[in-house]
Structure 1
Amino acid sequence: MIGVIGAGAFGTALAAVQAQAGRDVVLWGRDGAVLETARGDGVSPKLPGVTLPEGLRFSDDLADLAGAEVLLLVVPAQQTRVFLAEHGLALPDVPLVLCAKGIDAESLRLQSDVAEEVLPGRVLAVLTGPGFAGEIARGLPTALTLACGEHGLGPALQHDLSTPRMRLYLTDDVVGAQIGGALKNVVAIACGMVEGAGLGASAQAALMTRGFAEMTRLAVAMGAEATTLAGLSGLGDLSLTCNSRQSRNFSAGYAIGAGEVVGDGTVEGVATARAARDLAGRFGVEMPIAAAVADVLGGAMTMEAAMDGLLARPLKEE
């Protein structure tokens, strides 16, 4: 049995695609919406228009995950520490796959570091890469990255979690996979700002490219391989998230650039922008785009001033 913890859009989508593949899946949610879906017509409020598979089971009781052989943790990145501190010891001692894309804003730690701190010795993996929840839930073709540093476990997890419509590629670079998944959200906010302000496709392409360079610099400084950032968890996710209003991060940036109100929902890049700026200082890495996004989101700088500041930086080699 596969247990999915977190009944938001992405958690619901991952549960749905696993159930579509004929697997026994329990989706846990704490807000009651998951049980409303179970009692109703099978249409999730988190994924409008998507009918969930009949075999998918729903629960608001963590005890129902006792028989799980693997757990997918899909709570927001800034809630990972709190959730695991409150409930981690009640979960079965099976591989825990972390699916949130973000850096803990308080400790500046990656999701795997947070989980290891709270649940030392737990077998961990990371699932990340370019996949919109609605498309995954509808069974559209998707390829993601599964990062696992545990020798021998990765191939088994890859086999157990891949489906006919969701192909998983394996890496042991857990740090690189997480940096790519977290920082692409920051760049997506910047690209959304540019489109919302009507600054043109050329500016957006420049931000994506230079943002990718920032992602890679920080990842390498933290011990990752640059090639990981060129894969699905980095460049792949970046290209998806920076070009569609299906992305909450891009949409939030668009609203800011257009002078609109930012919509509801978790926008992981907001907290991660601050964390990225602080990590850049810690590791001595230049990340002017991440810093500018953090300053705009924090109210320390207008978007126009941020753009002027980026364009006024000293000329240099690429």
Structure 2
Amino acid sequence: MNKADRIKTASAAILLAAAVGLPFVVDAESSYAVYFLFLTFTYIALSQSWNLIAGYTGQISLGHHAFFAIGAYLTGIVWIHDLTGTGYYFDPVTMFLSGLGSALLATAIGIPLLSKLRGDYFALGTLGLGEILRVLLIKGGAFTGGATGLMLPAGAYTSMMPYYFTSLILAVLSTAVVFAIVRSQTGLALGAIREDEMAAAASGVNILFYKVLAFAVSGFFAGLCGSLQAYYLFHIHPEGFLNLNWTLYPILMCVLGGSGTLLGPILGAVFLTAVFSLANIYLPEVHPIFSGALIIIVMLFLPNGVFRLKKGGGKRPVS
């Protein structure tokens, strides 16, 4: 490990220690800093999940809000019907099953889409998934709660601490999993697919297998984030959990920070969560317009992200 790597490792350890210690220093129930970091950590996990399928594999997904919503709805259904029998409200078993359900949906959808569609057509296919799911949830009757959705008991909330630390764990775990994947043989295969799919296939890479694998892992973490938000918000409904922002914000965070990098989604999530939070507080009427304008600005002037710009890669490569 060289000096630069040691500095990065030490910095990460210090920041992680500060994040762990913060709720014990301030009042976790009233501190906006704790809520802000809870939201930031959730967006880091969502951004890393999108980064795996899009940044490292080159498959642009516009359907992450569908996996996010499935994770939330599965959490509500499992808890309401007490399918795990654990007796806990904030149940890690339920969260895992919700993430697994999202991964299974990603696999089931990914096999036909990734085998037949590429580029913009795949992106549109994943976008359509969200709209199909919206109709199914609204028409699902008592099982899904229809347009009203499902309600979890608000009285079960006792402290912000478990939500905060769960979001921190998801952020660290998603980053660690992406790091492990891209440093493995699987990561080499994903990179080959991103750079030249035909050449990768000619080299013996099982294109469909690795695409679906990345899509499933991506869906798993999106589902975990949806499950966490379901526990935190209590009310699970189509308008809130199938909001396209749950896809657009992670995309913007990855693009701003630098997709296809490990630190890019983290930098983008921290910065944009702060920007959107301030805009929501001080400019609530124009917040959607502000968000759209920011997306356009980032795509025009920072197409490869600030992390790549720092490395001297701010311009798009000529193809």
TM-score normalised per structure 2? 0.24
Considering Cα pairs closer than 8 Å and 6+ residues apart, tell me whether 1 or 2 has the greater RCO: 2
Task: Select the structure that is richer in strand.
Answer: 1
- TM-score (normalised: structure 1): 0.24
Higher helix share: 2
